[in-house]
Amino acid sequence: MASTDISLNKDVHHAHDEHDHHHDQNFFEKYIFSQDHKVIAKQFLFAGIFWGFIGGFLSIIFRLQLGWPEATFTFLEPILGNWIVNGKLDPEFYLALVTMHGTIMVFFVLTAGLSGTFSNFLIPLQIGARDMASGFMNMLSFWIFFLASVIMFWSLFIETGPAGGGWTVYPPLSALPQAISGSGLGMTLWLISMALFIVSQLLGGVNYITTVINLRTKGMSMTKLPLTIWSFFLTAILGLLSFPVLFSAALLLIFDRSFGTSFFLSDIYIAGEALANTGGSAILFQHLFWFLGHPEVYIVILPTFGIVSEVIATNSRKPIFGYRAMIGSMLGISLLSFVVWAHHMFVTGMNPFLGSVFMFLTLIIAVPSAVKVFNWIATLWRGNIRFTTAMMFAVAFVSLFISGGLTGIILGNSALDIQLHDTYFVIAHFHLVMGAAAFFGMFCGIYHWFPKMFGRMMDEKLGFVHFWLTFLSAYLVFMPMHYIGIAGFPRRYYSWTGFDAFNTFTDLNSFISLAAILGFGAQLIFLFNFIYSIFKGRRATANPWHSNTLEWTTPVNPGHGNWPGEIPTVYRWPYDYSKPGAAEDYIPQNVPFSQTQSSNLPYERDLE
Amino acid sequence: MITLAIGLSIVLLLVILFLLFRIGTLASIFRGSTQRAVGTTKTSNKVNSLLMLLFLIVGGAAFAWSFADAWDDMNQPLASVHGGWTDSLFWTTMIVIGIVFVITQILLFWYSYKYQHKDEKRAYYYPHNNKLEIVWTMIPAVVMALLVFAGWKTWANITSAAPADAVVIEVMGKQFSWLVRYPGPDGKLGEANVHLIDATNEIGVDFSDPNSMDDFMPREIHVPKGKPVLLKIRSRDVIHSVFLPHFRVKMDAVPGMPTKFWFVPTKTTAEVRTEIGNPDFNFELACTEICGRGHFAMRFILVVDEPEEYEEWLASQTPFIEQNPQLLTKFTHDAKEQVVLEKSAEEVKTEL
């Protein structure tokens, strides 16, 4: 196995070493326009947390409306100004809220905040590299993301409001300012911001892929990579292949909006006049959007697969069960994620035959996903589990992933999707499986790698409180939504009281809103813990979790270049936990077999 | 004054919380638990693993109770043939995933509790078992295959071509209401075109087309019980979606691309009213594709009649053009032009 190891990167690193030791950086180079992957990772993390709070806050506002549709919200006037009319939330602003909540959470928090943080931070540290393949491109990636963020943030404050056509921005609604005021300047800013965002993702993605392929340290074969790196690697590939398609869709939409083309527009009569556009296809946009949009949900969830696998193995003190099956299932999921997009479009009038093909392909994804869940559970079996906060989030992640994933089997079935499409059943499904679960994976990663990022520990007790409140509220919010969804309550409704069919569940909706407020409040505990621990947290040791991967062989506060001396060589896979015969219950990857003769397995004796 | 008081109490609360947090930290240093590896301290580990178990039991019970409690509200009255198929497939699938849900959640939380850290214990080194992997790949694969076949069958039946004798109704979505058109006695819907839309002729019907002359546009949809109904769905501005929750019908209304959906109603409005004991019950049509400010208010009533009642209702309708004869003046000129155009087109054809 190890005879196939390759090391291409020796020379590169020597050149880099010398560079590091002779160059003093000023403040701007070190903290603002830094090319160090660790600083860039933290920049993404801070931006992600900022966006997370904005996105969460928006959801609280619309949950107030949904929980208490008859109430007046005059007290929100100081924040929302003219969006409150006579104490009532403006219906178009409500739509803008759900649109921005979706956009922010999916793209700015769970794509940029998640991949940006952990791919940047962990790829060089875990594969044994001094930095990313191109530090400069990496820096550009963050700053272009920053620019995208500024534009998106700005759009929240303009007079006509931010984009309001749903995060999927289906034209013609998103193409025609006459149809909804958010499709004016707000939508223009949305498109510009997203175009920049895609550029940022591509710059980042190219870097992640190149780094994983080329800069692995001596001995680090692909089959010795921690699952985190596999997941980041596959995520980057998905992004690289699918984001350009969204870019093209955005570009065509810009043309339709501003230059009178008819890619997506046809036969429209609006605001008292028939438009000249003819021959376009509104469905075409949906195909293009979901060609990104579906891989996108895996871009959100794959990194957390890796993070959770790593944390569960470390804290169960057991090797991850079925390492190769885990890689195989991630490869399978990545591949399949490109051929299931039209399951979002079963009732759009698409040819029913296509519907059957996409149903088949969609339900296949359940198989590799099930394998992953079984492997995680098998990893816990007969472990010696340490309940660190990260571990609790990892276990809860698996629970949420099961709960949300299973309903995907229902929604992926085109016949069942007829009734459930665009109802709260869908909301419950994807919030559990890629919203809450991905957030739990992200928290898991933050708690676990915080010591390596900041040299201090986060407070575990506060972590527990944060965890239990968040876990509880995640289920209290999203489980009842299934009931509302089965009853057919449509999503993106400002209020359901106009329909006899949907005039039930008012108490349940208030309950959900209360649970959401509880969940949002719990995040303030996290925020306090996070900021406080950066400055005042207990000092960390170099390897506080007794973990095997390479990042824990660096100093407590790794400097530019990560390892002060030579980069460690890798001899073994990252999951030698509780190996029989070993003195400790972990053997880091850089310990040669010659030092662990008492624990070597028969085939490893040859490697001594 | 009240704002100040609220502000002060919040500050006080935060200070107290912060002090509690500091005391907790100091206490843990005093107890020496900070000296141990994180996650191996006895109390925290015990409490957290116990809470995991409690979460499973209490959470599971709460879920079961709330599910049962919501059961009646959850199940909308069912009034179509294919709705019976999808409902039974839905609940069958729910049972299948419910079983998986229960088993995996129990294992997950039970293992978390049972295998909590103990100082004297060592985890079991068990990196893989290919046989097990194959087994738990094959089982979901087989189950999925069965579900896919069941889904295919149902889907194919639902999306098959509508019977020739189906009652045809055109439903057009606009911001923010529904427009409905029946073909009238001739059974044919006349041509329509967005460029003909005005304040009266909201669908843009081309009244130079003879088929349009008997088309009528009621304020409610009426359909006969037990007969196939074919909805021809269009939109004139943005995407809408026709959703009839009681008939398990949903299909997008897309500008520039007509769609369709057919179903067979099985219960009249009156029957459902007596069945659920609500004399005000009505079948409703809702929009389920975000379409703007009034998205949540696109309500339209659908009535299912006994076939005889339906015939009576049909007979009582007057064609749209009879109600709005002034529209014809707009078309007489256009119509002539149209005829001329068609003729010249034919001439071109014959020449070719």
Helix (H) or strand (E) holding B279: none
pLDDT at B329 over 80: yes
CA dihedral B149, B151, B155, B158 (to 10 degrees): 110
Taking CA atoms, A139 is separated from A143, A363, A390, A562, in Å, by: 6, 40, 28, 17
Range of the domain at A512: 2-15+38-607
What percentage of chain A reaches a pLDDT higher than 70? 96
The candidate with the shortest Cα–Cα distance to A340, out of A242, A438, A206, A439, is A242
Mean pLDDT over residues B251-261, rounded? Answer: 95
The candidate with the shortest Cα–Cα distance to A542, out of A556, A563, A525, is A556
How many whole angstroms separate alpha carbon A265 and alpha carbon A256? 8
How many whole angstroms separate alpha carbon A419 and alpha carbon B79? 13
The candidate with the shortest Cα–Cα distance to A445, out of A557, A303, A315, A550, is A303
In contact, A321 and A380? CB cutoff 8 Å: no
* Partners of residue B180 on adjacent β-strands: B171
What is the DSSP code (8-state) at residue A29? I
How many whole angstroms separate alpha carbon A94 and alpha carbon A100? 10
Q: Using a CB-CB distance cutoff of 8 angstroms, which residues of chain B are in contact with residue A415?
A: 85-86, 89, 151, 154-155, 158
CA-nearest residue to B130 within chain A is A322
Which residues of chain B from 143 to 172 reach within 8 Å of chain A, CB to CB? Answer: 144, 147-148, 151-152, 154-156, 158-159
Mean pLDDT over residues A135-148, rounded? Answer: 96
How many whole angstroms separate alpha carbon A111 and alpha carbon A283? 26
Classify strands B229-235 and B167-174 as parallel, antiparallel or unpaired.
parallel
pLDDT band of residue B342 (cuts 50, 70, 90) is low
B282 touches chain A (CB under 8 A): yes
Q: State CA A202 to chain mean position distance.
A: 16
Please state, rounded to an integer, the average pLDDT across all residues of chain B: 90
Amino acid at A204: G
Q: Tokens standing for A23?
A: 């160059």
How many whole angstroms separate alpha carbon A547 and alpha carbon A598? 20
* Partners of residue B172 on adjacent β-strands: B179, B234
Q: Tokens standing for A428?
A: 């419950």
The candidate with the shortest Cα–Cα distance to A140, out of A204, A193, A191, A195, is A204
Is A450 within the bounds of a domain? yes
The candidate with the shortest Cα–Cα distance to A411, out of A476, A367, A345, A354, is A345
Q: Tokens standing for B285?
A: 């049509």
pLDDT band of residue B2 (cuts 50, 70, 90) is confident
A356 touches chain B (CB under 8 A): yes
Is A116 within the bounds of a domain? yes
What percentage of chain B reaches a pLDDT higher than 70? 93
In contact, A412 and A355? CB cutoff 8 Å: no
The candidate with the shortest Cα–Cα distance to A499, out of B319, B192, B201, B76, is B76
Q: Tokens standing for A300?
A: 């959100």
CA-nearest residue to B161 within chain A is A352
In contact, A180 and A164? CB cutoff 8 Å: yes
A192 CB-near residues (< 8 Å, 6+ apart): A151
The reported pLDDT for the residue numbered A15 is 42
Q: Tokens standing for B352?
A: 């070719």
Tell me, what CATH number does A353's domain have?
1.20.210.10
pTM for this structure? 0.93
Is A27 within the bounds of a domain? no
∠ CA(A385), CA(A390), CA(A396), 5° rounding? 80
Pick B3 or B61 by higher pLDDT. Answer: B61
Q: How far is B297 from chain A (nearest CA, A)?
A: 6
The candidate with the shortest Cα–Cα distance to A429, out of A448, A453, A401, A457, is A401
The candidate with the shortest Cα–Cα distance to A417, out of B248, B113, B98, is B248
B76 touches chain A (CB under 8 A): yes
String of b and e for A554-581 (b: at least 16 CB within 10 Å)? beeebebbbbeeebbebbbbbbbbbbee
B60 touches chain A (CB under 8 A): no
Amino acid at B287: C
A379 CB-near residues (< 8 Å, 6+ apart): A309, A312, A313, A316, A318, A319, A320, A321
Asked if B83 lies within 8 A of A355 by C-beta distance, the reply is: no
pLDDT in tens, A4-61: 444 444 444 444 444 444 566 778 778 888 999 999 999 999 999 999 999 999 999 9
Q: Tokens standing for A400?
A: 């949420």
At residue B139, φ and ψ (nearest 5 deg) are: -60, -55
Mean pLDDT over residues B159-165, rounded? Answer: 94
pLDDT band of residue B36 (cuts 50, 70, 90) is confident
pLDDT in tens, A294-347: 999 999 999 999 999 999 999 999 999 999 999 999 999 999 999 999 999 999
A327 touches chain B (CB under 8 A): no
Mean pLDDT over residues A89-105, rounded? Answer: 96
* Partners of residue A18 on adjacent β-strands: none
pLDDT in tens, A409-418: 999 999 999 9
B293 touches chain A (CB under 8 A): yes
Helix (H) or strand (E) holding B345: helix B327-351
Q: Using a CB-CB distance cutoff of 8 angstroms, which residues of chain A are in contact with residue B174?
A: 269
In contact, A578 and A562? CB cutoff 8 Å: no
The candidate with the shortest Cα–Cα distance to A196, out of A152, A232, A240, A157, is A152
Asked if A383 lies within 8 A of B111 by C-beta distance, the reply is: yes
Is A21 within the bounds of a domain? no
CA-nearest residue to B143 within chain A is A367
Is A29 within the bounds of a domain? no
At residue A358, φ and ψ (nearest 5 deg) are: -70, -30
Name which of A415, A462, A579 is nearest B86 (Cβ-Cβ): A415
How many whole angstroms separate alpha carbon A598 and alpha carbon A486? 58
Which residues of chain A from 171 to 210 reach within 8 Å of chain B, CB to CB? Answer: 172-173, 176, 179-180
Could you give the domains of chain B? 167-340 (2.60.40.420)
Q: Tokens standing for B314?
A: 């049909």
In contact, A299 and A205? CB cutoff 8 Å: no
How many whole angstroms separate alpha carbon A585 and alpha carbon A579? 7
Mean pLDDT over residues B235-239, rounded? Answer: 95
How many whole angstroms separate alpha carbon B109 and alpha carbon A396? 9
Q: Using a CB-CB distance cutoff of 8 angstroms, which residues of chain A are in contact with residue B204?
A: 269
For chain A, the domain total comes to 1
pLDDT at B278 over 80: yes
How many whole angstroms separate alpha carbon B85 and alpha carbon A594? 65
The reported pLDDT for the residue numbered B345 is 52
Mean pLDDT over residues A213-231, rounded? Answer: 95
pLDDT at A487 over 70: yes
String of b and e for A280-316 (b: at least 16 CB within 10 Å)? bbbbebbbbbbbbbbbbbbbbbbbbbbbbbbbbbbbb
Classify strands B249-253 and B229-235 as parallel, antiparallel or unpaired.
unpaired
Per DSSP, chain B holds a count of helices (H) and strands (E) of 8, 9
A70 CB-near residues (< 8 Å, 6+ apart): A497
Which residues of chain A from 507 to 526 reach within 8 Å of chain B, CB to CB? Answer: 508
B310 CB-near residues (< 8 Å, 6+ apart): B222, B223, B224, B225
Q: How far is B202 from chain A (nearest CA, A)?
A: 10
Taking CA atoms, B52 is separated from A370, A463, B103, in Å, by: 22, 15, 16
The candidate with the shortest Cα–Cα distance to B191, out of B210, B178, B172, B216, is B210
Which residues of chain B from 312 to 341 reach within 8 Å of chain A, CB to CB? Answer: none
Pick B340 or A393 by higher pLDDT. Answer: A393
Phi-psi category of residue A231: left, alpha or beta, with phi > 0 → left and psi -120 to 50 → alpha: alpha
Please state, rounded to an integer, the average pLDDT across all residues of chain A: 92
First to last CA, chain A: 14
pLDDT in tens, A437-458: 999 999 999 999 999 999 999 9
